[in-house]
Every structure is written in structure tokens, then in C-alpha cells.
Amino acid sequence: MTTLTTLSPTRIRIARYVAFSADLLQIGLFPLFGEGFFSPLADVLDVVVCVVLTRLIGWHYSFVPSFLAEIVPLVDLVPTWTIAVLLATRQKRVVGSSTTQVYVHPSAQPQLKN
């Protein structure tokens, strides 16, 4: 599992794309993923999305309500995966995104002797 301090911008971008695509698929094809014969297809999609997101960005508590909300009829019309990923990836330290600047006072620099 990936630790949250080693997330790359690419992993975050892919996770957001996966979550947005899953929500768009479920909302756009609602009759297909609604109650009835194709409901197991929606359940499989939710399990796959949860596993993929966990592998990409690690476990986050916001995945639990999202996963449970997808089971409730008509609540799955809310983009829960997108919201969960945005919550999970906000305020996370991204590798290579921050630089540390250190100010060295001129008198602290070593003096070269001739």
C-alpha cells in the first residue's frame, strides 16, 4: 500500500480520473446500473473502483461511506467516488512539489584565507 507522503501528482491525477469516470458511468448509464438484472454489474464496478483507488492513493476513511452509499438506491446518483478521492487527496504532501529555501546570512559563510 502506498503511504500518503509518497503520492506523486500522476497517481493523484489517475485516481481522480478513475473516480470521476466511475461516477460518470454510473450516473450516465443509470438505467443500466439501476435496480434489477444489471445491479450486480454496478456492485462489481464499485468493488473494482474501491480496490483501484486504494492501490493508487492508499486507504482513506472517506472510501467507507462512498462504498456504502453506492449500495443504497438513488444515492448512487451522487458522485461519491469523486468526493471521496478529493477528500483523500486534499492537503497531501506530493513528492517533488515543495522546495525548501534556506537563507544563509553572509557573515555565516566561510571566509577563504589567502
Query: Domain for residue 46, yes or no?
Result: yes
Q: Name the residue range of residue 35's domain.
A: 4-108
Query: Domain for residue 80, yes or no?
Result: yes
Query: Domain for residue 82, yes or no?
Result: yes
Q: What is the pLDDT of residue 77?
A: 79
Q: What is the pLDDT of residue 40?
A: 77
Domain count, the chain: 1
Q: What is the pLDDT of residue 34?
A: 63
Query: Domain for residue 114, yes or no?
Result: no
Q: What is the pLDDT of residue 105?
A: 44
pLDDT tens by residue, the chain, 114 residues: 444 456 889 999 999 999 999 999 888 876 666 665 557 777 888 899 999 999 999 988 888 888 888 777 777 778 999 999 999 998 655 555 554 444 444 554 455 565
pTM score of the predicted model: 0.69
Query: Domain for residue 113, yes or no?
Result: no
Query: Domain for residue 74, yes or no?
Result: yes
Q: What is the pLDDT of residue 54?
A: 93
What is the DSSP code string of the chain? ---GGGB-HHHHHHHHHHHHHHHHHHHHTHHHHSSSTTHHHHHHHHHHHHHHHHHHH---TTHHHHHHHTTSTTGGGS-HHHHHHHHHHTTPPBTTS--------GGGSPPPP-
Query: Domain for residue 15, yes or no?
Result: yes
